[in-house]
Chains A and B, each alone.
Chain A
Amino acid sequence: MNPLKIVFIGDHDHGKSTLIGRLLYDTGSLNREKLSELLASSNKYKTYLNYSIVTDQLLEERRTGNTIDSAHIPFKTRKKEYIIIDTPGHLEFINSMISGMGYADIAVLVIDVTKGVTIKTRLELLLLSLMGIDKIILAVNKMDKVDFLSKIYEQAKKQILGQLSPIPFKYTAAFPISAAYGDNISKLSPRTKWYAGCSLVKALDDLKPSRQYNPRALRFPVQDVYTLGKIKVLAGIIISGSIGKGREVIVFPYFKRSKVELLKPGASAKTHENVGLVLATNIPAKRGDLVLDINKQPVFSRSVSAKIFWLSNKPLRIDKNYTIKTVFQKINCAACSITNKIQPNSFNLIEKPDSVLRNEYATINLKSDNLFVYETFNSLKHLNRLLLINNNEITGIGFIISHP
């Protein structure tokens, strides 16, 4: 029932949109209008259909043949339901790329066999690892341009994996494909008899979903406070653990204990459920406060270290004020030092730089007059994700790792 969300990444012109169009066409997922539009199109050499028009929807995308913003496209095979997330191929649209990636379960990396790894490929993998998407399928595309030779494929694969090795990711499998001609996508190609694996669609169908952790520590950020008749109801979503009527809790930032007197809509609720709760004692709770487990608490600290990817044209500077937003809070802070950074072009590690520039990945130390709230339990680390905001613009994304 739950569709698998696959993000397609890769540099522009390496064939992402063509591969998606082909997948939709091969699995019979195109509706009548799309199909007739596709059949009426063909590439300039008239040797195959122009599959990328299936995904390029905006006038500007069709005019230039470049994907500009991420799109979510549902499709299904005989075995499974999917949502494809198509992302732009140009670095200038990195904001749209990130917005698409963030929702994915797994990634398909499309690389043109004749071009190999580019700067953008590396940046995308960096971003994926930052987002915790570590299952990656490698689609080595345009095999038709190298006559489907196994030697060239093996060389390209080795080179790609070598160049990507500094980035922590779990690569699951590689496929020699031609998106334009349909080789090894929904069925095995007679032109790659040397290839011993299965088709891309079969591999996707056979993927086992990742194990879901069910952390037990209660975390309930107060999203809003509603007054219903005479009672004050704290509304929000339980991001971890469960709540029942009569349960004892601690409320941050007051560090006061209280009991859950009433719960809506039912008498108990689990992770991801939206609830309204009424506390037994009169705590002046407001949006941004936290209702927490008594025993298993997060860490509270006025300084933290974080890994961040910088997105703004204005560099990150030491001692400049930023707003940090996490699932727990939104507070003002400043970077007090930069431990190191990786530059996108060379992948060199630079120790103690004095600023972080656009598309660089850095470890920084933040301080604030308020308390940062973050998790040390492995199963809750996803709650440490953060946005860095300046003048209402998201300038950086990342996660809190520890105390400095």
Chain B
Amino acid sequence: MDYLDSLESKTIYIIREAYAQFRKLGLLWSIGKDSTTLLWMARKAFFGKIPFPIIHIDTGYKFTEIYKFRQMYAKEWMLDVIISKNFRQLEKGLCPKNNKFRCCNALKTEALKQTLLKHGLKALLLGIRRDEHGVRAKERYFSPRNQNFKWDYLHQPIELWDLFSSSIKEKEHFRIHPLLHWREIDIWRYIKREKIPVVGLYFSRFGKRYRSIGCEPCCKAVRSKADTINKIIKELSTTKISERYGRAQDKEDPNTMQKLRSLGYM
């Protein structure tokens, strides 16, 4: 079993464990490389047909490529997609221009709250990784959130030997992170090996590419000539620029990410 196999094996085990412990499960698909990779492994875990809904949080500000990709693969992979949108705030004209923290919180976190309630979901699979951000480095595979979505990062449960023992209290939900142990470069190596389709935004056009994608107004491309997966892998083994360098919501103040996450952001 090689290194990628061992990463994959652990991920599939966690996906199945999540479904075994919480039948009311959903998978959060941002259409980015990580959640698409997670989706790929979920299809493997259930031999082709994922037995729970796939949630796409649509802020209305996503890249056109993302919408196209969603449409195409939702059909091809027989996904049961739920679109999660905070219509009330969007109608009020909320946009990232004035306050990114407020925008992320309302259009992503609040939208997700509404969707969880509506569909009675008890747990969510998410494609976050430890090496993406210092605050995510402190996450657990099975991470409880209270009814207000709060992440109590100062009192996290023990997690040991992959004996995941989660018990859900009234009005709680669990965030499950099957890709926690993957690094950015591992994801790309796996995408290459498995030939997983990804959005074109990751590949260099006119000397720039996106390393991390989200909403169009808040994502900046980085300078790069990497227009193939091989070149991306090569670039990542030497770069000194962090993956989320182009993500505006991390920048507003040094602890925006922590504040967003403690309120239930991914």
User: Could you tell me which A residues sit within 8 Å of B by CB distance?
Assistant: 1-2, 28, 30-35, 57-60, 68-74, 95-96, 98-99, 102, 223-224, 226, 228, 233, 235-237, 264-265, 270-274, 276, 287, 311, 325-327, 330, 385-387, 389, 392, 394, 397
Contact = CB atoms under 8 A, between A and B. Distances in A.
Contacts of A1: 2-3
Nearest to A94: B158
B163 A226 contact: no
Contacts of A385: 160-161, 163
Contacts of B72: none
Contacts of A71: 130, 134, 137-138
Contacts of B134: 57, 71
A69 B46 CA distance: 34
B242 interface: yes
Given A33-B245, A59-B255, A236-B16, A99 B140 contact: yes
Given A226-B46, A311-B158, A387-B160, A274 B183 contact: no
A31 B153 contact: no
Interface of B: 1-3, 5-6, 9, 12-13, 16-17, 19-20, 44-47, 51, 130-131, 134-135, 137-138, 140, 153-154, 156-163, 165, 167, 181, 183, 239-242, 245, 255, 258
Q: For the complex of A and B, list the 3 residue pairs with the smallest distance between their C-beta atoms, beginning with the closest.
A: A57-B134, A392-B167, A1-B3
A226 B47 contact: yes
Given A60-B154, A95-B156, A287 B20 contact: yes
A76 to B, nearest CB: 9
B16 A74 contact: no
A58 B152 CA distance: 12
A55 B23 CA distance: 37
Contact of A264 (B47, B137, B160, B163): B47
Nearest to A271: B1
A96 B159 CA distance: 8
A31 B135 contact: no
A2 B16 CA distance: 24
A2 B17 CA distance: 24
18 contacts: A31-B239, A32-B245, A34-B242, A59-B255, A68-B153, A71-B134, A95-B158, A98-B160, A99-B159, A235-B16, A237-B9, A272-B5, A274-B9, A274-B44, A287-B20, A325-B165, A327-B162, A387-B163
Given A1-B3, A102-B160, A32 B240 contact: yes
A265 B194 CA distance: 15
Contacts of B135: 57-58
A41 to B, nearest CB: 12
Contacts of A271: 1
